[in-house]
Chains A and B, each alone.
Chain A
Amino acid sequence: MSSKRSISNDLTGWLMASPLALVLALFLVLPIAMIVVVSFWGATEFSIYPAFKLDNYQFLFGSAVTYSVFLKTFMFTLISWALCLAIGFTVAYFLAFHIRTQTWQIVLFLVCTVPFLTSNIIRMISWVPFLGRNGIANQTLISMGIIDEPLEWLLFSDFAVVLAFVHLYTLFMVVPIFNTMMRIDKSLLEAARDAGATGFQTLTNVILPLTKPGIMIGSIFVVTLVMGDFITVRFMSGSQSANVGRLISNDVALLRYPSAAATSVVLLITVLIVIGIMLRFVNIRKEL
């Protein structure tokens, strides 16, 4: 990507990229534009009509619910991100530096990757027999004598939501971190050891800084997935908790499209600001 631009490059480039550009124009750019437009429209009980009014935004920013829901969304994001990072980094570190043969690295890496390619809905449902009132967790704790009554907050709670996020999305942290770790020159680690660094010092002073790009990419994935989610919160909280995505999907269910659109615009801007801040730390295209 270092070569200079030329007219023939432009031409072949556009020719090759046109299907991609077409799909994104039709199903990404246009829908975003439509949402922005509709966010100024009005709604009756049965239909929506073109207008230019700020009612939807006024209502959104005037409602206390909005702020608490955004706060909740940030809370889910922050906690899930921290857990995904801690677990994902440890797993990637183990795979990259403690597994000695490439074959085993690939095998264990695939073992981590496979669940990502199966259904998220099923993976959420599969927590029910574990966390439910009569589930494995409660039965185990009771038989061990740790608790007398089944814990009610295991399933259909904020705890369950965060657990599901970590379960679903840690992989997005493992893959990019593992990828950057594999590119660290092993002789750097030897040099650190020869210079007298302990294992922990090597980790914090050599590996961690060199892994930063992978951490950033993984973080972008996790943060955007959690911020934009609505289904995990709905299912795992048993509809008791709300995030911004649910605010939107509730409006959609009530056919209040302009209101849903206004919330969407605010959510999109929020996500973009967060990502914009994160992107200042890393050049994605170089790191793949």
Chain B
Amino acid sequence: MSEQRGRSFYVLAAFFALFILFLYGPTITIAILSFQGPKGGLTFPMNGVSLHWFYDLFEQQAVGDIWGSFRRSLGLGLMVMVTTVVVSVMGGLAFRKRFLGSGVLFYMVITSLIIPSILISLGVGLIFNQLDLDVHWTTSGFGSQLTWTLPFGLLIMFAVFNRFDKTYEEAARDLGATSWQTIRHVVLPIIAPSLIGVALFGFTLSYDEFARTLLTAGSYNTLPLEIFGMTTNVTSPVLYALGTLTTVFSLVVIAVFILSAWVLNRRRASSGNDSGNGLV
């Protein structure tokens, strides 16, 4: 593939550029529109430029409890993130060898991924209802979100372990390491960069989750639920301002995760160890 670029390259490159525009265009549009002047509406033209709608976000009365819901989403995201990393790594390690019921468990993981989210919401809601327990984001909401993040975490772990060079472990064992020592000092350090990927998925999928939290979050909304509530009764650019802020927050989180994975990989490369390469 070192010859001159053919015509197909330019056609495909144009297609790709259009796809990127399609992906980002709408988000960029609302980012611009969130700077509407105080009298501006939901569409162009811009009626002046101001930070009016961002100021509005900080006034409790204007838009309900968005800061409370943001704090809850943040807390829940961190809870889900930590749990997803720990449970996925353990699960990934378990699945490297076949054990009684591993097939069933694997199909449960796949089911968890493909089941319509509203069924989780409904089922968990019904159980709490019948047990006379209150649904709450830290209990029912937390568990419901895990059914969404864990399959992704596990799939990443499967991909990691499929590419894992087992000779490192054999070497550790030959040097007399116990199986716990092998995991702690050999396996975990090697897979560490991909754990950042699992953590990123765990946090962002939870932070943006809607359908599985809908009937399980209880009376205290998470941020996506709050935003969806706003879509039915807020018809000012304050919605765009909120959308822009939470998207910027997501982007910062993603950037931090990707940068730390990159730094980790680089530090490793400079110390002459190439394990973990090829993983995002």
Contacts and interface: CB of A to CB of B under 8 A. Distances in A.
A binds B: yes
A117 B250 contact: yes
Contacts of B240: 125-126, 129
Nearest to A116: B204
A123 B116 contact: no
B120 A31 contact: yes
Interface stretch (A54-62, A64-72, A205-213, A257-265): A257-265
B96 A1 contact: yes
B98 A129 contact: no
A75 interface: no
Q: Is the interface of B mostly helix, strand, loop or mixed?
A: helix
B106 interface: yes
Contact of A24 (B26, B123, B150): B150
A288 B122 contact: no
B105 A129 contact: no
Contacts of A97: 1
Contact of A125 (B23, B30, B117): B30
Interface string B129-158: 010000000000001101100100011001
Nearest to B250: A118
Contact of A91 (B2, B16, B154): B16
A28 B120 CA distance: 7
A129 B122 contact: no
A27 B146 contact: yes
Contact of B123 (A35, A109, A285): A35
A24 B149 CA distance: 11
Contacts of A119: 207-208, 224, 227, 243, 246-247, 250
Contacts of B144: 27
B246 A122 contact: yes
Given A35-B126, A125-B30, A230-B211, A20 B86 contact: no
Nearest to A87: B19
Contacts of B114: 220, 224, 228, 271, 275
Contacts of A288: 155, 158-159, 162
Contact of A257 (B8, B16, B122, B258): B122
A17 B94 contact: yes
Contacts of A199: 6, 8
Interface residues of A, number: 90
B15 interface: yes
A204 interface: no
A231 interface: yes
B122 A261 contact: yes
Among B90, B94, B246, B258, max chain A CB count under 10 A is at: B94
A264 B118 contact: yes
B119 interface: yes
A186 B120 contact: no
Contacts of B1: 97, 100, 186
Interface of A: 1, 3-5, 9-17, 19-21, 23-24, 26-32, 34-35, 38, 87, 90-91, 93-95, 97-98, 100, 106, 108-112, 114-115, 117-123, 125-130, 132, 134-136, 139, 167, 170, 186, 199, 220, 224, 227-231, 235, 245, 248-249, 252, 257, 260-261, 264, 267-268, 271, 275, 284-285, 288
Nearest 6 CB-CB pairs, A to B?
A: A31-B123, A228-B116, A13-B99, A16-B94, A126-B26, A17-B94
Interface of B: 1-2, 6, 8-9, 12-13, 15-16, 19-20, 22-27, 29-30, 33, 42-44, 86-88, 90-91, 93-102, 105-106, 108-120, 122-124, 126-127, 130, 143-144, 146-147, 150, 154-155, 158-159, 162, 200-201, 204-205, 207-208, 210-211, 214-215, 224, 227-228, 231, 239-240, 243, 246-247, 250-251, 254, 258, 280
23 contacts: A13-B98, A14-B94, A16-B94, A17-B90, A32-B119, A95-B16, A100-B2, A109-B280, A110-B258, A115-B27, A120-B210, A122-B247, A126-B29, A130-B26, A135-B44, A167-B22, A224-B113, A231-B210, A245-B116, A245-B118, A264-B119, A271-B114, A284-B110
